[in-house]
Structure 1
């Protein structure tokens, strides 16, 4: 009976440790996903601001690189860029 009790206690310890590990891992994963969502939202806002700058005629030397990166990440579409370019042309009278 003594051996059986030791096995039961050992099994209970394994279950508690596994449950704690699972909980800790899920909390870590949730926090990591939250940070990734926040970073993506900031990047999308930055890309939109860059498109607005282009629309309003405030051009920068790295616009093409930044906008290509934004499009590749799916933060803006090429249609967004075309609308900005069309608005810019209208502002310039062309």
Structure 2
């Protein structure tokens, strides 16, 4: 994967999108990011049949990571923009 983080807090890459890390401490990272959801087609799997297609779209979000001993991390993220709304699922735009 291609990911890069600058010392000023900005980052860009395939796995984390584009964003800014406000945490100045290596143990605590938090910030905002924009990522891409590439969508899916229901025809790609029998399990998805009848669920509808999901179009590609941008996702905006926030993240919080905390470094634990031995190289482990607690990570969390909140994303908005992925999925399909209930109205779209019912065929109402």
Which TM-score bucket, shorter chain as reference?
A: under 0.3
Report which of the two structures shows the higher radius of gyration computed on alpha carbons.
Answer: 1
Between structures 1 and 2, the one with greater helix share: 1
**TM-score w.r.t. structure 1 length?**
0.24
The one of the two structures with greater contact order (alpha-carbon pairs below 8 A, sep at least 6) is: 1
**TM-score w.r.t. structure 2 length?**
0.24
